Amino acid sequence: MQSLTLTRPDDWHLHLRDGAALAAVLPDTARRFGRAIVMPNLKPPLTTVAQAAAYRGRILEALPPGSDFEPLMTLYLTDNMAPREIDAAKASGIVHAVKLYPAGATTNSDAGVADLARCRATLARMEALGLPLLVHGEVTDPSVDVFDREAVFVERVLAPLLKDFPGLKVVLEHVTTRDGADFVRESGANVAATLTAHHLLLNRNALFAGGIRPHHYCLPVLKRELHRQALLAAAVSGNPKFFLGTDSAPHAQKTKEAACGCAGCYTAHAGIELYAEAFAAAGALDRLEAFAAFHGPAFYGLPRNRGRITLVHEDWTVPAALPYVAGDALIPLRAGETVSWKLQAE
């Protein structure tokens, strides 16, 4: 049987939620990944180092016994974040980035940035201290077509931002378009992108396969096949600007299967296996380790993980539903279907 041993990977974009939801999903990530950049879009969002430190404590508390998984914390940028919070973040050693959600762009982003011009002093401090800005790259202008929001963001927001702050470290999170990937490739070494497994495996037809498919709905929304191909090409290119970020984003079944369903795909249950499928389909399994375990730490200035994981080429069936918070199930990506790579038990 074909097998693949890799340096233990990291997930550079993850939603872990809090409380019972955190306890339900964390073991999936901790089994596979050494570290994860944990998103701050809780209710209320994490805007201070003190809040991030407390949340980190709750994550460590919820870890399975013996796990050495390390959560890398982020702060949620608001129009009011003071530059001194950036100094505190850098000094803390536990906060590794600041997340920009344009107000209203996605789940729990109401408190996001309405006017980036008000963040200039804070962004300047981040640039000076080398603290990365993680960007949800979509404009919220309702007159812009939902499939164009990333490309318009790159042109209207990201390019001007980098002109003003040419040394700012920026990650275009969950890049979903050829336009976004091209922009990152053509920018300086301070600009990188994360890629989700679902955007490497699915195009927007998956939203409407035989009927509306709420479990394939995430933001940024799935795009055309030409974009999926461009993303896959970027992922397998070996270019260190592109690295793994699952954007695994759990929501209770009833909040997804609803008249107005939440955005987010849960993928942590197969968080590395789905990437192995995508890379195998591109004939590039030999490039998976660098994408999953080397490029991210290099960008963030962290050491690579020391441990290893092994994947075997073997079909397994994803459960139809996973336990989540009391009374609610979590429907994982590929529910009831097979994934062709399997994590070997330690």
What's the CA gap between 128 and 174, in Å, rounded? Answer: 25
CB under 5 A: which stretch of 18-26, 239-247, 268-276, 320-328 binds Zn ion? 239-247
Burial (Cβ within 10 Å: 0-12, 13-18, ≥19) of residue 276: buried
Selection from ligand NCD, Zn ion, none that 106 binds (CB < 5 to 8 A by kind) is ligand NCD
15 binds ligand NCD (CB under 6 A): yes
Q: What is the number of other CB atoms lying within 10 angstroms of the CB of residue 39?
A: 28
Give Cβ neighbours of residue 326 (< 8 Å, ≥ 6 apart). Answer: 20
Q: Which amino acid is at 84?
A: R
What's the CA gap between 23 and 346, in Å, rounded? Answer: 21
User: Does residue 274 contact residue 232 with C-beta atoms inside 8 Å?
Assistant: no
263 binds ligand NCD (CB under 6 A): yes
> C-beta of 219: minimal distance to Zn ion in Å?
8
**φ/ψ of residue 30, rounded to 5:** -65, -25
From candidates 70, 127, 247, 289, binder to Zn ion by CB under 5 A: 247
Burial (Cβ within 10 Å: 0-12, 13-18, ≥19) of residue 65: exposed
Question: Which residue, 7 or 108, is less far from ligand NCD as judged by CB?
Answer: 108
> C-beta of 211: minimal distance to Zn ion in Å?
26
Selection from Zn ion, ligand NCD, none that 264 binds (CB < 5 to 8 A by kind) is ligand NCD
- Parallel, antiparallel or unpaired: strands 322-323 and 329-330: antiparallel
- Give 289's DSSP letter: H
Question: Which residue, 87 or 257, is less far from ligand NCD as judged by CB?
Answer: 257
> C-beta of 136: minimal distance to Zn ion in Å?
7
* DSSP secondary structure, 81-118, as one string: --HHHHHHHHHHSSEEEEEE-BTTSSTT-TTSBS-GGG
Binding-site string for ligand NCD from residue 123 to residue 162, where x marks contact by CB under 6 A and - marks none: -------------x--------------------------
Binding-site string for ligand NCD from residue 214 to residue 243, where x marks contact by CB under 6 A and - marks none: ----xx------------------------
Binding-site string for ligand NCD from residue 88 to residue 107, where x marks contact by CB under 6 A and - marks none: ------------------xx
182 is catalytic: no
What's the CA gap between 273 and 71, in Å, rounded? Answer: 21
Question: Which residue, 101 or 294, is less far from ligand NCD as judged by CB?
Answer: 101
Question: Which residue, 125 or 220, is less far from Zn ion as judged by CB?
Answer: 220
> C-beta of 221: minimal distance to ligand NCD in Å?
8
- Give 248's DSSP letter: B
Choosing from 11, 28, 179, 247, which is the catalytic residue?
A: 247
247 binds ligand NCD (CB under 6 A): yes
Selection from Zn ion, ligand NCD, none that 17 binds (CB < 5 to 8 A by kind) is none
190 binds ligand NCD (CB under 6 A): no
Distance of CA 212 to the CA centre of its chain: 24
What's the CA gap between 182 and 200, in Å, rounded? Answer: 16
41 binds ligand NCD (CB under 6 A): yes
Enumerate binding residues for ligand NCD (CB under 6 A).
15, 41, 106-108, 136, 218-219, 247, 249, 263-264
Q: Which residue numbers are catalytic?
A: 247
Binding site residues, Zn ion, CB under 5 A: 247
